[in-house]
Chains A and B, each alone.
Chain A
């Protein structure tokens, strides 16, 4: 059984409490004594019906005033999943509460009243969901019973929402027409809406892919605590405890400790009393190193070839959560004598000042506005400078290392939530560059001092113009398995349908873009990294990108996947028995490899890691290239990426 954390947001009378009550009730998470207490309390208030909101409104003031003040956490489970529900009030303090509930959510349910349609509040909730990068969003069109279960009305709302959501960075939106009151499409398929063929709400919650929001690529271990022990087994034990927030690590692998920049290898990984060879994102571990290095809380262990940004100046989106407005300190002196906050990011806490507020975002219109400061529940973009450097990734790529809070040093209250966009480009930029020159081992693997330029024409706009969606089709498989043959057959079909395509082929890029790379493991990784970046650019320009690369390492393919929006990266495993590949051997490479003329040849002298969960498996030893191309085309049509294409 795994765990899904989701948040719910809705306006007053959207039926949010009823929906949660329904989910809890139908999954038997409401106990008889709780139900009885709610019935009694409803009766005492003179309510003719049972008010399920009383189940979640736990505080005296909430019950007295009939409003929800704070985020409440509810728990339920089905045989498939445990659910943690962050129930956030939509009307008062919505930013503060929604941001809090959304910060840990894998999925957000946004409720829309079928009678009222997409209101300002639904837009606010959606904006916050996109800002916090919640991997999945469900738009639950509720109270369908009050619009006579009308498909036309439902489609109208979905259309309105789509038009609005195109302006946001929303990864994966699913629409479900429901009636929480009557249970339509909550647990079982509604008899009242035979026109709806999608999943019921509970089925969707039980099956949605949880890993989508996880970063499995960039290994980051912020050190929480250093454990020293003098046990009989280990006389001088010194372990570094923390939770791996992204990526994975194994015993024997090389790591570097930041900020010291000293390298070592992982000697052991412990989870409680067990030792293990590998650990991954989410695991709480204690790691021992082969060398004695001075590491303490707030430091970070990462891979030598995959470093986070390091800077004391950051560009961030801020959500202000305090009655006291944000204080801006224009001139930060060396001793930080002016207005400052504590900034807490991963396990680091440093002093920080907000140097500049670039703009405030109007949550209702999404427009940027000039503003002197941020007040309670306002959101804006600002430049922050810290006393010591932070190690971070952009929030877009890594929620755990890209998030922070600001703490008022006088009241000790948490006053803001922050999401790092990038390093700020400011005065000390030059100094920073010099440092990088002096310590080449620490040079960031990404060109970190380049700000991603916002585009004038977005992918959704191009998709609309093109009349088809954009996607990356990543063909992976052994040399001679038939990747290029299938891709070519598919590209011809797509072209005939008027679909814009872009193809990247392994051999071709090695003549130009990647002519400087060899075939060792590191060069292969770099080869795939560059290609994936090109594929992403082409994808952002509205193309269906066909990539044909052996790409033998699962981690590299995962990295390529991480660059594309959810659902738009298709890993197509071109599967063919290696003996048949050798027989085909169109370029005579296997023969040369077996003679030892080509080192590191996949399938002969280098490994191929088969995809574990590819979107499609294409067996070229059993089907023709034309058949397989047709199958891919039909799958693209089913996914709504292209239209037509049936033979």
Chain B
């Protein structure tokens, strides 16, 4: 276990500085939560200029995959986390089927530890796209005794959502779950197929994947099996941001620089809120930060940034020297953390 390893690039924070802020941090955090449920950043819907070059090809590839899923499966869904990658996927799904409606629902596995901004944004997007939203919550799985919460102070529910997800797949008889994972994110993902097979237990067998040739996707399976499908496999973080900028896609405000209360835990800057309560010895500081990825509040690290416009973010991403998941506590648990979670049916 190497959770305590400092991510490269993270600056150490002086532990006792600004200790005075801590006493009333508890009261302020509720305030902060409410006030930060502010409107998502709405860029004016503008007629996007026709895409060129690599983005045009990546878009065409993703749309092709989305249409293959709609055609080859009976009950697909699009896993929606509220992060930029799943927002881009929803946008691509709209483009793939317009003027028709997206022919599958969005499925949100709600850990209960979401940023409030994420949920507000989700609801607006669903209304705008006219798509059906299905929510299954980790809390229900806990209440039903399907999973047990980690015992320590600020438990991570990241691992638990696998059970909720697989239960939802079984309950809704989902045969293909589309997701916004990208191969550049992590080295186990670099070897995953567009159409990734899951056995009857939802498990991935990385050593025994089907060869994927040309753009001929084999979605055949037994009735209790399912597929995870990744339309944006070949996109990089920079591609995502360039596409968002060129297409004028709205994003939750969390992605843009804003002031927020944070604590430094194991070198990761966590946003103080209902699910992240400062521990003794931790200092709450108000800083200008933004998020590079959005997961649970308990494991998504913020970083100090003043990038408040898309052009600033693209510049920042283009020159970044650490990976975006470098700020994710969930990936830092071991060298093969992602592979192990994926084998068990993680996203």
Name A residues whose Cβ lies closer than 8 Å to a Cβ of B: 1-3, 31-34, 36-37, 41, 55-61, 63, 69-75, 77, 81-82, 84, 96-97, 99-100, 103-104, 224-225, 227-229, 231, 233-234, 237, 239, 241-243, 270-274, 276, 282-284, 297, 321, 342, 344-345, 347, 399-400, 403-405, 407, 412-414, 417
Contacts and interface: CB of A to CB of B under 8 A. Distances in A.
Contacts of B206: 59, 61, 70
B183 A405 contact: no
Contacts of A412: 218, 220-222
Contacts of B214: 103-104, 399-400, 403
24 contacts: A58-B186, A58-B188, A59-B336, A69-B207, A73-B183, A73-B191, A73-B234, A74-B190, A75-B183, A84-B234, A97-B211, A103-B213, A224-B64, A227-B99, A228-B100, A233-B99, A234-B99, A237-B100, A276-B50, A284-B63, A342-B220, A345-B216, A347-B71, A414-B210
Nearest to B9: A32
Closest 9 CB pairs of A and B: A58-B187, A272-B95, A3-B54, A412-B220, A32-B8, A284-B63, A284-B60, A229-B100, A82-B54
Interface string B85-117: 000000000111111110000000000000000
B215 A58 contact: no
Interface in B298-343: 320-323, 326, 335-336, 339-340
Interface in B249-300: none
Interface in B203-227: 206-207, 209-216, 218, 220-222
A36 B236 CA distance: 20
Contacts of A74: 184, 190
A99 B50 contact: no
A34 B64 CA distance: 32
Contacts of A69: 207
Given A75-B236, A84-B234, A227-B97, A59 B188 contact: yes
Interface of B: 7-9, 47-48, 50, 53-54, 56-60, 63-64, 67-68, 70-71, 94-101, 183-184, 186-191, 206-207, 209-216, 218, 220-222, 233-234, 236, 238-239, 320-323, 326, 335-336, 339-340
B335 A41 contact: yes
B96 A241 contact: yes
A76 to B, nearest CB: 9
Interface residues of A, dominant DSSP: mixed
Contacts of A37: 335
Given A31-B326, A72-B187, A82-B239, 18 more contacts: A3-B53, A31-B322, A56-B190, A58-B188, A60-B340, A63-B336, A72-B191, A81-B54, A99-B211, A103-B213, A227-B98, A233-B99, A241-B96, A273-B98, A282-B60, A344-B218, A400-B214, A405-B213
A276 B51 CA distance: 13
A2 B326 contact: no
Nearest to A57: B187
Nearest to B338: A58
A227 B211 contact: no
Given A72-B191, A403-B213, A61 B207 contact: yes
Contacts of B239: 82
B67 A417 contact: no
B91 to A, nearest CB: 9
A73 B233 contact: yes
B341 to A, nearest CB: 12
Contacts of B54: 1-3, 81-82
Given A77-B238, A284-B96, A55 B187 contact: yes
Nearest to A406: B218
B67 A224 contact: yes
A77 B191 contact: no
A460 to B, nearest CB: 28
Given A33-B7, A282-B57, A229 B64 contact: no
Nearest to A82: B54
Contacts of A72: 187, 190-191
A284 B210 contact: no
A403 B216 contact: yes
B191 A2 contact: no
A242 to B, nearest CB: 8
A97 B9 CA distance: 36
A73 B194 CA distance: 12
A229 B70 contact: no
A237 B98 CA distance: 10
Contacts of B68: 224
B8 A33 contact: yes
A64 to B, nearest CB: 10
A31 B218 contact: no
Contacts of A2: 53-54, 57
B321 to A, nearest CB: 5
B218 A405 contact: yes
Contact of B95 (A3, A96, A273): A273
A273 B100 CA distance: 11
B60 A283 contact: yes
B191 A59 contact: yes
Contacts of A276: 50
A63 B335 contact: yes
B104 to A, nearest CB: 12
Contacts of B95: 271-273
Nearest to A342: B220
